Amino acid sequence: MGVMDELSPEDKLGVELARSENHLIRELIAARHRRGLTVADVADAMGVDRGAVTRFESGGTNPTMAIINRYAEAVGVLIRYNVEGYVDGPDHRAARPSGA
């Protein structure tokens, strides 16, 4: 029995969301490397200091979607978002008034 098996559905979803975010950041860093860009190049393009980019890449921040998109623009890539249902997760549908 693995660690994930012992987690609640809500905790499993949290782990999966963290993995997804980590994967996105790794893909963005790989894109920077493929384009031969340095941290300084990206920082200049984003209008931030190199430390901000280093913290972003190391997971030392909790970036907003706007920051993620600015980084993507700086390295010349497009991010496409994919929203999927989570089978093991709780049912979070909003309650609807009767007759609606």
The predicted model scores a pTM of 0.80
CA distance 66 to 62: 12
Does the structure show a pLDDT above 70 at 4? Answer: yes
The CATH number of domain 7-75 is 1.10.260.40: yes
Max Cα-Cα span within the chain: 58
Tens digits of per-residue pLDDT, 12-48?
Answer: 999 999 999 999 999 999 999 999 999 999 999 999 9
For 39-68, what is the mean pLDDT?
96
Q: Could you tell me the residue ranges of all domains in the chain?
A: 7-75
